[in-house]
Amino acid sequence: MAELTMAQAINQALMQTMAQDDTVILLGEDIGRNGGVFRVTKDLFEQFGEDRVVDTPLSESAILGSAVGLAMNGLHPVAEIQFLGFICSGFHQIITQAARLRSRSLGHFTVPLVIRAPYGGGIGAPELHSDSLETFFVHSPGLKVVVPSRPFDAKGLLFSAIADPDPVIFLEPMPLYRAFREEVPSEVYFEPLGKARVVHEGMNLTVIYWGSPGAWIIPTVLSVEKATGSTIEVIDVRTLSPLDEETIIASVTKTGRVLVVHEAVRTAGVGAEIISRIMAEAFYRMEAPPMRVCGYDTPYPVAQLEREWLPNSARVERTLRMLLEY
């Protein structure tokens, strides 16, 4: 087993899938000779050639719409949108087309398509490069939405996403591409879609997150545990749609307190959905009101303010203490 970054783990998953299955093709802007702006598709062009690693025109709607067509006729396209914010230029092809084709054709046409996009804040990028737009896709029946927060999951979830018979939005937290390495099996393995992972067990409070907070949430939780003597369970949701309600409810039923952490703006974020389900299923077990630490309800801020604007260790620590004392 080698220690890989998330960017390397994703690259390896693409390399191995494409070697096994010649119906898998990649398309996107600057993904071929350039290997992608984050080098996630590095070496694939050289390995598989220009018919399977396709540099497209700068044309999000044509990338996504033609990927729908490729998928309709039995290929397994993996489309890259260079930054999630740019997906808005082709948004309708996902929401009104890819998500609905199975249903409107009664299963006659299907769209086994993966749309990969770097997303999330914290890297000092220009405007529209840092937005967390996952709610749009979760709110659209017919799509699956996956967010890995570590290299091992990124590889195993990507295999599952490509094998899935339906469209999958695969969101890659940019700050985690090279934040750390971990051991990643060299072989093919499948992490199931729709399954959350309990990354740290505890009895007094449940923290639920996805994506970038994965880089710092555990040290924050450990320091609060140490200071308060409480134990805190931490769940990485990994798949936002379908949501693993079972794991979430089991944990909160046990702990009676919950904090949801996400980078997306708070109002109508996926945290609201999670909390609503908790209140429906674990109402009588709650010891404190459910809380959220999220992006504020503003357009994503300028680079100088993003660290304060984003959920961070200090904001989470404050809220954890408040919940434990409630």
The residue range among 57-65, 148-156, 196-204, 230-238 that interacts with other proteins, by the rule CB under 8 A, is 57-65
Residue 49 binds other proteins, judged by CB under 8 A:
no
Residue 64 binds other proteins, judged by CB under 8 A:
yes
The residue range among 104-112, 145-153, 290-298, 314-322 that interacts with other proteins, by the rule CB under 8 A, is 104-112
Binding mask 193-222 for other proteins (x = CB under 8 A): -x----------------------------
The residue range among 33-41, 106-114, 173-181, 225-233 that interacts with other proteins, by the rule CB under 8 A, is 106-114
Catalytic residue among 92, 108, 129, 262, which? Answer: 129
Concerning whether 139 is annotated as a catalytic residue, the answer is no
CB of 234 to other proteins, least distance (A): 23
Q: Which of residues 69-88 bind other proteins (CB under 8 A)?
A: 69-75, 77
Nearest to other proteins of 107, 229 (CB atom): 107
Nearest to other proteins of 106, 284 (CB atom): 106
The residue range among 55-63, 130-138, 152-160, 169-177 that interacts with other proteins, by the rule CB under 8 A, is 55-63
Q: Which of 8, 12, 17, 56 binds other proteins (CB under 8 A)?
A: 56
Please state, in angstroms and as integers, the Cα–Cα distance from residue 20 to each residue in 28, 97, 192, 281, 315, following that order.
21, 28, 19, 43, 45
Query: HSE of 14 in the Cβ direction (CA atoms, 13 Å)?
Result: 32
Token pair belonging to 231? 């134990």
CB of 301 to other proteins, least distance (A): 29
